[in-house]
Chains A and B, each alone.
Chain A
Amino acid sequence: MKFFHSIRWRMQLWHGLLLALVLAGFGSTAWELQRENQTGRVDRELEQRMGIIEGAIGPENIPPPGQLRLPPREQNLFEGMPGQAFYYAVWLRDGRQRAASAPAGVPRPERVPGPPVFRSRGNFRECFHDTPAGNCVLVGRDIGEELAGLRRAAWLLAGSGGAVFLLGLAGGWWIAARALRPVAEITATAAKISDGDLAQRIRPADSESELGQLARDLNNTFARLQAAFARQAQFTADASHELRTPVAVVLAQTQSSLARERPAAEYRESLAACGRAAQRMRGLIESLLVLARFDSDETPGALESCDLARIAAESVALLKPLADEKNVGISVEVTPAHCRGNAGQLAQAAGNIVANAIGYNRPGGSVRVTVHREAGSAVLTVADTGQGIAPGDLPHIFERFYRVEKSRSDGRGNSGLGLAIAKAIVEKHGGAIDVASEPGAGTTFRVRFAAAQRISLRGLDNP
């Protein structure tokens, strides 16, 4: 059933059980104490009177039949309040009852040698003693009123116990509700979030409590989730945005070409433009795939010992034609510097940075690529003599699709992702990339990886 699974109901059940046990224990103990107390008092009174009677009959005296003659002060002891009167009875050794103030029908107790013995008989409490002479003396009293008092006490205890029990249940219910209220709030917020409202947060009522801690942790999780979703949405928006322009080119070209008959040269021109747009889209899609792979995979893949110098030199060689086309000089100055990494990815990062330095250079400018070891690091530096980057743009240049010029098209399929990819690769390798720029003078990128020992035991490189 549902409510046996509810924490609140289960808490209430256990709470009720415990409370009932405690109350029952307390109540019965209190009642038992009261009863013992009363019985003890009555017994002491009986013992006292037992002494008087025994004194009156004497050790060897055989008491006369009928009432004992007691001194008046002692006689008084046997005439209490009505209903509380004490009585006595004396039996001889042979079993005959000799003296009695008792109502008729008090049975002769069994012979029990030794000290006086107490017994309860219905509403009566009696004490009897077999004297050494063989007589049996019994003193008794009606304790009906005490018994009635005890019954009243029992009812009172049960009643107040019940009241306390109900009060306790209500209090427990309230405390459980209070304790569980933050849980309800967390549940409600989580439900809203799962319905898609990612901006919802739990209001931590008491940030020091266990639930406050939970709320904080959940809020952090929600914030990270929201940021991830926002990044994803931004990325998708940017990606579709980047694809729109080449698609616009293709649409404009095809629609305008197909509007009427044209000479073959115009068709060729149009197809060439479509081809360029398609190339750009391909470049963009490839970059997007690379980034998507990086986003989904935390590790750089198979690691090997790579020489950053060789990787940089190869990247430069690959990009030489681009530099020539742009009339940009490119120089390489490398000393071997090994690091652990995925050679293909490192080459891509280096290539992207160098291509960026060429692309944003001025005609007749130069790019200087150096690799060296420095304090346990392998460092790649790419310095250009380009237009530089304004301080306002500098913090953003590694963002996806960020371009300093608010436009695309350097005709080389520059997607605005090159530096973002380079940064993703470097960070995945545990390296760091930073940039310094002086507008008008040029920009310098520095990439730093932890150097690896070139030769080491068992082929394992030190990190």
Chain B
Amino acid sequence: MRILLVEDEADLLVSLGKALREEGYAVDTAADGEEGLYKAREVAYDAVVLDVMLPRMDGWEVLGRLRESKRTPVLMLTARDAARDRVRGLDTGADDYLVKPFDLEELFARLRAIIRRAAGQTRNVIEIGGAVVDTAARKVTLSGNPVALTAREYCLLEFLALHRGETVTRTALYEHLFDEGDDSLSNLLDVHVSNLRKKLGHGLIETRRGHGYCIG
């Protein structure tokens, strides 16, 4: 899952970025509205965490202009908690709304929820054959036994599971699993897929030659 974090408070940007990366997200950051809008338009993020008070272009405008072309889920962060502001945020097209100061756990949970909803899933737990992916606990079990996955492997599995039934291209996978600071080679994907197959069985992830991967 790849997330764009737009926040002008440097300390908050750094600490949130770090915390989100530790949660297994690929995180891009932007420190002002213009940069945030540019990145959000260019890259297919799974979610955008958008502060309202931003230099150059405020969060409302970023959101409004992003909505002209993209449906990326957006979680607004704001220091204002007047009902008027919340209504405005949701009406402008925000998917959720979090008032500063917030607990990291709540931010993570809300992020998971908007990503899940955007993918058309309503539950935290996705069952694929014998494998169960718990997106809240970030745990995978196979026939009831826990399976140890690396963070990358888990993200790959989660992304495919959320887009179950769709063929996900290698480019899309690459875009969603690696952030702008990551210069991993794209053939790493094949390594992760083959590791997953070893741990979860070979039938789980299908290769659509020339197109990408799919979980049926």
Q: When chains A and B are docked, how far (Å) is the Cα of A411 from the Cα of B14?
A: 14
Contacts of A253 in B (CB 8 A): 11, 15
Contacts of A247 in B (CB 8 A): 100-101
Q: A270 interface residue, CB < 8 Å from B? A: yes
Asked whether, in the complex, the Cβ of A244 is within 8 Å of the Cβ of B100, the reply is: yes
Q: How far is the CB of B213 from chain A (nearest CB, A)?
A: 31
Contacts of A250 in B (CB 8 A): 101
Closest to A269 in B: B14
Asked whether, in the complex, the Cβ of B79 is within 8 Å of the Cβ of A409, the reply is: no
What's the tally of chain A residues with a CB closer than 8 Å to chain B? 26
Contacts of B100 in A (CB 8 A): 244-245, 247-248
Closest to B20 in A: A256
Closest to A405 in B: B55
Q: A277 interface residue, CB < 8 Å from B? A: yes
Contacts of A244 in B (CB 8 A): 79, 99-101
Asked whether, in the complex, the Cβ of A256 is within 8 Å of the Cβ of B58, the reply is: no
Contacts of A270 in B (CB 8 A): 15
Q: Which residue in B9, B18, B19 is a CB contact (below 8 Å) of A408?
A: B9
Q: When chains A and B are docked, how far (Å) is the Cα of A259 from the Cα of B23?
A: 11
Q: A193 interface residue, CB < 8 Å from B? A: no
Asked whether, in the complex, the Cβ of A409 is within 8 Å of the Cβ of B82, the reply is: no
Closest to A237 in B: B82
Contacts of A154 in B (CB 8 A): none
Q: When chains A and B are docked, how far (Å) is the Cα of A405 from the Cα of B16?
A: 23
Q: A406 interface residue, CB < 8 Å from B? A: yes
Asked whether, in the complex, the Cβ of B12 is within 8 Å of the Cβ of A245, the reply is: yes
Known contacts A244-B100, A255-B104; is-contact A249 B11 (Cβ 8 Å): yes
Q: When chains A and B are docked, how far (Å) is the Cα of A250 from the Cα of B15?
A: 9
Asked whether, in the complex, the Cβ of B22 is within 8 Å of the Cβ of A276, the reply is: no
Contacts of A199 in B (CB 8 A): none
Known contacts A256-B22, A273-B15, A406-B55; is-contact A251 B103 (Cβ 8 Å): yes
Asked whether, in the complex, the Cβ of B12 is within 8 Å of the Cβ of A249, the reply is: yes
Task: Classify the interface of chain A: helix, strand, loop or mixed.
Answer: helix
Q: B137 interface residue, CB < 8 Å from A? A: no
Asked whether, in the complex, the Cβ of B8 is within 8 Å of the Cβ of A409, the reply is: yes
Contact with B along A392-410 (1 / 0, CB 8 A): 0000000000000111110
Which of chain B's residues 36-79 have a Cβ closer than 8 Å to chain A? Answer: 53-56, 58, 79
Asked whether, in the complex, the Cβ of A406 is within 8 Å of the Cβ of B11, the reply is: no
Q: Which residue in A248, A256, A259, A273 is a CB contact (below 8 Å) of B101?
A: A248
Asked whether, in the complex, the Cβ of B19 is within 8 Å of the Cβ of A276, the reply is: no
Asked whether, in the complex, the Cβ of B102 is within 8 Å of the Cβ of A276, the reply is: no
Asked whether, in the complex, the Cβ of B99 is within 8 Å of the Cβ of A249, the reply is: no
Closest to B99 in A: A244
Q: B80 interface residue, CB < 8 Å from A? A: yes
Q: How far is the CB of B215 from chain A (nearest CB, A)?
A: 30
Known contacts A244-B99, A408-B9; is-contact A252 B80 (Cβ 8 Å): no
Q: A69 interface residue, CB < 8 Å from B? A: no
Q: B10 interface residue, CB < 8 Å from A? A: yes
Contacts of B12 in A (CB 8 A): 245, 248-249, 252
Q: When chains A and B are docked, how far (Å) is the Cα of A247 from the Cα of B99?
A: 11
Q: When chains A and B are docked, how far (Å) is the Cα of A260 from the Cα of B18?
A: 13
Contact with A along B76-101 (1 / 0, CB 8 A): 00011010000000000000000111
Of A244, A247, A259, most buried by chain B (CB within 10 Å of CB) is A244
Q: A121 interface residue, CB < 8 Å from B? A: no
Asked whether, in the complex, the Cβ of B11 is within 8 Å of the Cβ of A277, the reply is: yes
Asked whether, in the complex, the Cβ of A251 is within 8 Å of the Cβ of B101, the reply is: yes
Q: A41 interface residue, CB < 8 Å from B? A: no
Contacts of B19 in A (CB 8 A): 252, 255-256, 259
Q: How far is the CB of A390 from chain B (nearest CB, A)?
A: 13
Q: A412 interface residue, CB < 8 Å from B? A: no
Closest to A409 in B: B9
Q: When chains A and B are docked, how far (Å) is the Cα of A237 from the Cα of B81?
A: 9
Q: How far is the CB of B3 from chain A (nearest CB, A)?
A: 15
Q: When chains A and B are docked, how far (Å) is the Cα of A241 from the Cα of B79?
A: 5
Q: When chains A and B are docked, how far (Å) is the Cα of A260 from the Cα of B54?
A: 31
Asked whether, in the complex, the Cβ of B55 is within 8 Å of the Cβ of A249, the reply is: no
Q: When chains A and B are docked, how far (Å) is the Cα of A242 from the Cα of B9?
A: 12
Asked whether, in the complex, the Cβ of A252 is within 8 Å of the Cβ of B16, the reply is: yes
Contact with A along B159-170 (1 / 0, CB 8 A): 000000000000
Q: How far is the CB of B41 from chain A (nearest CB, A)?
A: 21
Contacts of A255 in B (CB 8 A): 19, 103-105
Q: A245-B101, A249-B15, A252-B104 are in contact. List 15 more A-B contacts (CB 8 A).
A: A244-B99, A245-B100, A247-B101, A248-B9, A248-B12, A248-B101, A251-B102, A251-B103, A252-B15, A252-B16, A255-B19, A255-B104, A276-B11, A406-B54, A407-B54
Q: Which 8 A-B pairs have the closest CB atoms?
A: A248-B101, A256-B19, A244-B79, A248-B100, A247-B101, A273-B11, A244-B100, A407-B55
Residues in chain B within 8 A of chain A (CB atoms): 8-12, 14-16, 18-19, 22, 32, 53-56, 58, 79-80, 82, 99-105
